[in-house]
């Protein structure tokens, strides 16, 4: 009799847990709809000081070649849509060589655009200078990014960008890293330096996106990035042509990347900003950096 009563209690407890989990999933689904709607309706005029001259939020993707920048763009566009039809907007492939050679832009909304910048095999001085040129909007959208190896060519490229200066984009840097890779001591120092200079150029600590979340121990990689000064680290599994069935957890993770970027924008717009002056400061940084290398 006691054993039978115990089994009934266990069954009731199991049903209670199932009920709680079901309720949790329903609430999470509601949260996703609210989060998606918040992103889709985002406006630069929402703050007390308005847009202050900015017209667009530019989510700038950086990282080593083949780490999932293009896949992140495809995933973001997919989760913001309401259908189950996956489309590959940015050409993506799991390779160490990477496919992106041109600095391409992919609108998520009328206000938010993601930029797929050319990845690099290693962040040496000259490649890093080109990365900063992309970050500072000194290389036009749609232009092929070539790794220059001399001072004159770099200075000429920056001066050329002044023919049609772009100062109305609010730049948010995002660094994508594949958790299946192991960072060497040299790479750690390179990434740390890149993060520090992102703050100098944009006022924002780069958002770290760890791709291939379930393929390795991402917690160890996350720890390494936090020790480098990262404030936000989000691990995700991208949607692909081969794996595109929408799930609650995967969709939430990807939406959170966009949401935290917009929170950074709102935070920075709480204080007076001058887009033209900030572009001048980015240009000074580029000149100083090029002189140093």
Indicate if the pLDDT at residue 131 is higher than 80.
yes
Residue 137 near residue 285, CB atoms below 8 Å: no
Domains of the chain and CATH, by start: 42-292 (3.40.50.300)
Q: Which of 53, 38, 111 is nearest to 269 (CA)?
A: 53
Per-residue pLDDT of 222-274, as tens digits, reads 999 999 999 999 999 999 989 999 999 999 999 999 999 999 999 999 999 99
Residue 175 β-bridge partners? 62, 208
Indicate if the pLDDT at residue 66 is higher than 90.
no
Q: Residue 148: what pLDDT? A: 57
* pTM of the entire predicted model: 0.84
Please spell the DSSP secondary structure of 56-86, one letter per residue: EEEEEEE-BTTSSHHHHHHHHHHHHSSSS--
Q: Residue 196: what pLDDT? A: 95
Cβ-in-10-Å burial (0-12, 13-18, 19+) of 247 comes to exposed
Q: Which of 83, 68, 103, 23 is nearest to 212 (CA)?
A: 68
Indicate if the pLDDT at residue 28 is higher than 50.
yes
Per-residue pLDDT of 179-225, as tens digits, reads 999 888 888 998 999 999 999 999 999 999 999 999 998 999 999 99
Residue 189 to residue 191: CA distance in whole angstroms: 6
Q: Which of 14-23, 118-127, 143-152 has the highest mean pLDDT?
A: 118-127
If you average pLDDT over residues 17-21, what whole number do you get? 48
Indicate if the pLDDT at residue 22 is higher than 60.
no
- In the chain, the percentage of residues whose pLDDT exceeds 70 is 81
Indicate if the pLDDT at residue 8 is higher than 50.
yes
């Amino acid at each position: 009799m006691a054993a039978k009563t115990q089994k009934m209690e266990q069954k009731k407890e199991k049903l209670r847990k199932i009920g709680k989990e079901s309720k949790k999933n329903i609430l999470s689904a509601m949260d996703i709809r609210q989060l998606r709607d918040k992103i889709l309706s985002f406006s630069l005029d929402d703050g007390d000081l308005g847009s202050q001259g900015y017209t667009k939020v530019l989510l700038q993707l950086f990282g080593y070649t083949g780490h999932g920048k293009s896949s992140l763009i495809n995933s973001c566009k997919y989760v913001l849509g309401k259908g189950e039809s996956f489309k590959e907007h940015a050409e993506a492939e799991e390779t160490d060589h990477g496919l992106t050679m041109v600095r391409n832009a992919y609108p998520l909304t009328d206000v938010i655009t993601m930029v797929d910048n050319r990845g690099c095999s290693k962040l040496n001085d000259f490649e890093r200078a080109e990365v900063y040129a992309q970050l500072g909007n000194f290389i036009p959208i749609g232009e092929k990014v070539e790794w220059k190896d001399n001072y004159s060519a770099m200075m000429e490229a920056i001066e050329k960008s002044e023919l049609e200066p772009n100062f109305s984009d609010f730049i948010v840097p995002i660094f994508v890293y594949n958790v299946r890779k192991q960072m060497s001591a040299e790479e750690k120092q390179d990434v740390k330096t890149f993060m520090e200079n992102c703050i100098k150029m944009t006022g924002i600590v780069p958002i770290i996106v760890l791709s291939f979340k379930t393929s390795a121990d991402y917690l160890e990689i996350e720890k390494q990035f936090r020790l480098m000064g990262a404030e936000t680290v989000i691990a995700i599994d991208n949607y692909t042509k081969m794996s595109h069935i929408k799930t609650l957890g995967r969709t939430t993770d990807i939406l959170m990347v966009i949401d935290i970027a917009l929170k950074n924008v709102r935070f920075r717009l709480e204080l007076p900003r001058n887009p033209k002056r900030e572009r001048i400061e980015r240009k000074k940084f580029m000149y100083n950096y090029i002189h140093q290398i």
